[in-house]
Copies of this chain bind each other. A is one copy, B any other.
Amino acid sequence: MFNSIGNLLKLTTFGESHGKAIGGIIDGFPAGLTVDFDAIQQELNRRKPGQSTIVTQRKEPDEVTFLSGIFEGVTTGTPIGFQIINTNQKSKDYNHNTNVYRPSHADFTYDKKYGIRDYRGGGRTSARETANWVVAGALAKQLISHIKINAFTSSVGDIFVLKPYQDLDFNKTETNIVRCPDEKTADKMIQYIKEVKKDGDTVGGTITCVIQNVPVGLGEPIFDKLHANLGKAMLSINAVKGFEFGSGFCGAKMKGSAHNDLFNENGTTKSNLSGGIQGGISNGMDIYFRVAFKPVATIMKNQQTINSDGNLTEIKGKGRHDPCVVPRAVPIVEAMAALVLADFYLLNKTRII
């Protein structure tokens, strides 16, 4: 509840962007996995600020320290505690906002809910929290290393990848700073984000995630459907406004005769509008889904707003923020997908006598 996700593989997190550290506890991780620490740091590097010209220029090393649960490089079955020290706590960037509710941020709702105003930037709502998820997701990936999780930027503003994912080479995702495996589209996206940034504005986009080599049978019917848990995990990511899998919203326009996935003799299906999931359970085909991200609310333009006294005021556009959150969100989407799948992978060990 609240700050935990997962049933058997459970991540619980803490931390605010301007506190001493963020971190978490991964409970239920099985014993016996030899941890690849470099792979974890690599995932953190994919998410960290300052990695390219189209993301926020804050400099944070985002180095994770494991405090427990791993002995001589191997998981022990006990909870894995970890933390990431906050080295870049420039509260002064935020002090001018002490009393002001930033439009489309959570300042207002937090203040009204808790009666407390932590004016040091996003506090608990900061996307910095997602670094915790990337750590846990990177470990989860190693637990289900046979399953391949490939997320990529599929649109920025009105610029879309038009090819079906089957025609993309996922190895190219990391070859450009926007994380789009379609190189020509990637160039356009990068160019567009630079323009938006120059203009002091921000822009939204979508991420598509394709999961391959999923065994048949993951997911629990009714209230732990595989796609429902994937959806909840994605909707937990900051700035996400929508989730669709398989045929998604397009499927809502179709007829059953066109939408049904007919079987091949080997149990695979000729089409895959189901998106690899039927009745909440994986059917062995590729799982794919799409996640919508709104534009970042912090813009470099002045905006009219109110303060906590209910008076109109103006908020200045300052600070160092992402013009488009999508490129840095790609590893976050993968991490959350990995956590969900690893959880169901463990659960599935218990479903037959």
Q: Contact residues of A with B, CB < 8 Å?
A: 1-5, 7-8, 10, 12-16, 19-25, 27-28, 30-33, 65, 67-69, 71, 74-81, 83, 101, 103-106, 108-110, 112-116, 118, 123-125, 129, 143, 155, 157-158, 196, 201-206, 216-217, 219-225, 227-229, 231-232, 235-236, 241-249, 251-257, 259-267, 269, 273-275, 278-283, 292-299, 301, 303-306, 310-312, 346-353
Contacts and interface: CB of A to CB of B under 8 A. Distances in A.
Contact of A254 (B236, B253, B262, B294): B294
A2 B224 contact: yes
Given A14-B67, A259-B294, 9 more contacts: A2-B222, A19-B68, A125-B279, A203-B254, A203-B255, A252-B293, A256-B297, A256-B298, A264-B306
Contacts of A273: 104, 294
A221 B106 contact: yes
A338 to B, nearest CB: 15
Contact of A2 (B79, B217, B249, B292): B79
Q: Which of A231, A273, A301 has the most CB of B within 10 A?
A: A231
A217 B104 CA distance: 15
A348 to B, nearest CB: 8
A236 B223 contact: yes
Contacts of A143: 353
Contact of A255 (B13, B32, B157): B157
A260 B299 contact: yes
Nearest to A217: B113
B112 A204 contact: no
A249 B292 CA distance: 5
Nearest to A262: B103
Contacts of A32: 114-116, 352-353
Given A27-B1, A312-B265, A108 B294 contact: no
A245 to B, nearest CB: 6
Given A228-B232, A262-B304, A14 B279 contact: no
Contacts of A298: 256
